[in-house]
Chain A
Amino acid sequence: MKNRWIALYVENQVGVLAKVSGLFSGKAYNLQSLTVGTTEDETVSRMTICVTSDDITFEQIKKQLNRMVEVIKVIDLTDMPIHMKEILFAKVKDCTVADKAELFQIAQVFHVEVSDIGKDSVLLECKMTERRNNELIDLLRSKFKHIEIVRGGAVAIESISTSCGGRAEYFWK
C-alpha cells in the first residue's frame, strides 16, 4: 500500500465530480485527496487525485477511470517528474505573546506567510508540498492547544525540465 497520484482530464460538466468520487466510494478505493478546477480550455476540468492502494488496485483504478465516458485522459503522476503544491491555512488560537513570537519564528523557518493576526491568534498561509505541510501541522500540534487547519489537497503539474521538480513520492513522506 502506498500513495499514488493521478492527473485526470474530465469534461467540465454537471455530475462528473460526483461520478469520479462515486467510483472511489462505490468500489472502496482509498481516496486521500481530490482537487478539481477548470483548465486553459474551459470545457475541460483537471483533477489531481491522491490514492492509497496496492499495485493491482491502482491499475484497476486507472482502468475504471479511463472507461468513464466523461474522462478524457488519465495521467499517472506517480513516477513522473512533477511540481506539486498544496495550500494550507493554519490558525493558532489562544496565543500568549511568547506563542506569537514563536509562530513568527516558525513562519520564517518554514518560509510561510503570517497573513493575519489578532489579539490572541495568528493565521499562517502556506503553499508547500503536502509533506512539508504535514510537518508544519505536526509541529503546531505539539506546541499549541487550539489550532484550526484548512487544507486544499495537492495540485500537480508535469515538470518542464526534468532536473527541477521531483517524483510524487518526494512530496509525501
Chain B
Amino acid sequence: MAMDMTGRKLFVKALLEEQVDTVFAYPGGMVTDILDELYKHEEIELVLPRHEQGLIHEAEGYSRATGKVGVCIVTSGPGATNIITGLADAHYDSIPLVCITGQVPLNLIGNDAFQEVDIVGMTRSITKYGVTVQDRKDLGKILKMAFHIARTGRPGPVLIDLPKDIQTASGPGEYPQSVFIRGYKPNESVHIGQLKKGYKLLKSAKKPLFLVGGGVNIAKANDKLLQLVERTKIPVVTTVMGKGAIPDDNPYYIGNSGMHGRYAANIAVGQCDVLFSIGTRFNDRITGDLNEFAPNAQIIHVDIDTASISRNVVVDVPIVADANLALDKLLEWAEPQKTEEWLEQIQEWNQKNPLEMRRDKGMTPQMILEQINQQFSEGIIVTDVGQHQMWATQYIELNADKQFITSGGLGTMGFGFPAAIGAKIGCPDQSVICISGDGGMQMNIQELATAMAQEANVIVCIFNNYYLGMVRQMQQLFYGKRYEATCLRRRKGCPKDCKGPGTACPPYEPDFVKLAESYGACGIRVTKEEEIVPALEKAKQCKTPVLIEFLIATEEIVLPMVKGGNPMTEMILK
C-alpha cells in the first residue's frame, strides 16, 4: 500500500508513471496547486502558451508528431472554454489528449461561482470521455482511465475536470498499473473470415483500388501498406488525412481524392470495381454525392471504429480492425494482380489533367511548395486551414522521412502555427515547416511569443493573398464575385461592390515582417519567384523562429474543385 498523499501529488505521480515529459499549461486560480506541484519536477517540461486555444493545438501538434498523449492543463471557466475548439479538432482527427481543467471546489459547483462552467457538459459530444472527479479516492483510477481511453482503440481527447479541493485533499497514493472498464473494449483483433472475404473480392477485381485514410498514419502502418501495394500492384488514393500513408513518388500512388483531389484519383474512384478502404470515415469531402460515389464498386471497409463503418457509405464487406493488424494479415496472403491495363488507364487520366498551376500570373503556391519539397529532405509539414492547405495536400511531396499534419475533420483555422510549435517541441531535431494563410495565421499569432520562449524554431510560410481565400474562391465561382467579408485589406472607405484588388487598395495589415521582428523572430518578405529559394535558405540558417510572408497571386483558386454535394467525378478543372 502506497502512503496517502494529496491529489496534486498523485496527479504528478500519474504523469511520471505515464512517462509524460511535456505538459502544455496555462495558469489560473483553480490549477495553481497542480502547477505548484509541477514546479518541483524538472523532468516534466512545462510549456506556457499565450492563449489556451494555442495551448491545445500545440498539444495536438506535439501528439501528432510524436504519437504520444498530449497533456493540457487549464484553469476553470474561460480557461476551459478556450480549449473547446481544440477538443473538437482532436476528436475529429483522433488525436490522443488528456486535458485537465481546474474546477471550483465541490461545494461551490452549481453556485455560478467565479469562473465556474460545466465544462464536462459542454464538451460531452466532442470528447471520447469526460468526467468531473467527485471523490478524491477515485482520482488515481480516473487518471489511469484517461490515459488508457485516450490512446487505445480509435484515439481521442479525454477531459478530466478536477475541483480545487480534490487537488489538495489527502487520499490513496496508488496509481493503478492497469484499469478495467466494463463498457470499453477497444477492438484488438481482426475478424479473419471477413478479411478473407474482403481479400477474395479484391483478388477478383479487374480495376481494384485502395482508398487510404488517416487511420493508417495513426496506426503507423505505412510500411505495411507500402509492401502490400507493391506486392499486389494495386493503385492507391488517399484522403487528406491519409496523405503520407504512402510516399508521393510511389508509382502506384495516384494522389488525394475528394473535393480538391487529383483528377485521376477521383475518376479512378468513380471507375474502380473493388474499392478497398482502410481507416477512413467516408467524409462528405471524399464522397460528394453519395449516390454517385464509386457507383461501379463493391466496397470493403477496414476501420477500428464500428460506428465509422456503413455510416455514410453502405459497404459490402465491413471489417472492424486496427489498420496495422489487418495489413499484417493481408500481407500473408497478398499476391501480384494483373493491373497493368488499369494502371495505364489511370496514367492516361493523369496526363490528361495533371495538377498544375499557370506560371504567367505572378508567384503561385505551386512554385513555393515545390521549393519547400526541394529544400527539405526530411521534416514535418504542418498546415493551417484554407486554400494553402489544399495546395499543400496537392503539391507537398512526402516520403518516409516527412510527416504531414493538418486539421482535417474540423477544419480549424488557427490550428497550423501552434500545432507546428507543438510538433517542434516534440521533435526538436526535425525541421518543422508551417504553411499558413494570412487569415489563419492571425487567429493564433500570439503564439509567436511561445515559439520564442520555447526556442521552437519553426519556419512559418504565410501565403498572403490578402483574402480569406477559400471562401473568396466560392464567391468568385458561385456568388458573382461579391466579396463580402473576405478581403483582409478592406476598410470603411472601400467601394461596396469591389470585384477584386486594384492599385487603390489600402495597405495590408499587419506588416508580418515587422510583427515577427517585434517578437524577436526573423521576418522575411518574398514578392517574386526568384526570392523563394534564398528566403528558404536563409530561414534554415536562422537561430530563431522564422516567418516568411509570400505575396502570392491574389485571385488564384484551388483546382480541381467539386462543388459541395456534387458527384466527385464532376470536377471544375479551369
A and B pair up: yes
Binding site for B on A (CB under 8 A): 10-11, 13-15, 18-19, 22-23, 26, 56, 59-60, 63-64, 66-73
B307 touching A26, Cβ below 8 Å: no
Q: Which residues of B contact A73 (CB under 8 A)?
A: 183
Q: Does B283 contact A (CB under 8 A)?
A: no
- Selecting from B118-126, B188-196, B250-258, B340-348, the interface stretch reads B118-126
Q: Check B496 for interface membership: any CB of A closer than 8 A.
A: no
Does B183 lie within 8 Å of A70, measured CB to CB? yes
Q: Chain B: how many interface residues by the 8 Å CB criterion?
A: 21
Complex Cα distance, B314 from A59, in Å, reads 11
- List residues of chain A with CB within 8 A of the CB of B125: 22-23, 26
Known A-B contacts A15-B131, A56-B314, A59-B310; A69 and B124 likewise in contact (beta carbons under 8 Å): no
> How far apart are the CA atoms of A10 and B134 in the complex, in Å?
19
Asked if A67 contacts B306 (CB within 8 A), the reply is yes
Tell me whether A15 and B149 are in contact (CB under 8 A): no
> What CA separation (Å) do A23 and B125 show in the bound complex?
7
Pick from B124, B306, B314: contact of A22, CB under 8 Å = B124
Specify which chain B residues have a CB less than 8 angstroms from the CB of A63 in the assembled complex.
306-307, 309, 311
Of B182, B183, B309, B310, chain A has the most CB atoms within 10 Å of the CB of B183
Alpha-carbon distance A60/B307, docked complex (angstroms):
6
Chain A residue at minimal CB-CB distance from B153: A67
Q: List 8 A-B contacts (CB under 8 A).
A: A15-B120, A63-B306, A63-B309, A63-B311, A64-B307, A67-B306, A69-B149, A70-B183
B282 to chain A, nearest CB (A): 13
Contact A15 B307, CB 8 Å, known A68-B183, A69-B181:
no
A56 touches B184 (CB 8 A): no
Question: Closest CB of chain A to B119's CB: distance in Å?
Answer: 12
Which residues on A sit within 8 Å (CB–CB) of B121?
A: 15, 18
Report chain A residues within 8 Å CB of B305: 67
Measured CA separation A71–B307 after assembly (Å):
14
A134 to B134, CA, bound (A): 42
| Bound CA–CA A67/B320 (angstroms) | 13
Q: With A and B bound together, what is the CA distance between A72 and B149 in angstroms?
A: 15
B128 nearest in chain A by CB position: A69
Cβ distance A22 to chain B, nearest Cβ, rounded Å = 5
**Known contacts A19-B124, A56-B314: A69-B306 contact under CB 8 Å:** no
Tell me, yes or no, whether B376 is within 8 Å of chain A by CB: no
Partner of B183, one of A14, A56, A59, A69: A69
Residue of A nearest to B120 (CB): A15
A60–B183 CB distance below 8 A: no
Residues of A within 8 A of B183 (CB): 10-11, 68-73
**What's the Cα separation between A116 and B92 when bound, in Å?**
55
Q: Which of B89-121 contact A (CB under 8 A)?
A: 120-121
Q: Which residues of B contact A64 (CB under 8 A)?
A: 307
Docked CA distance A22–B123 (Å): 11
Q: With CB as the reference atom, state the residue of chain B lying closest to A68.
A: B183
CA gap between A10 and B125 in the complex, in Å? 17
Shortest CB distance B310–A (Å): 7
Q: Nearest chain B CB to A93's CB is how many angstroms away?
A: 38
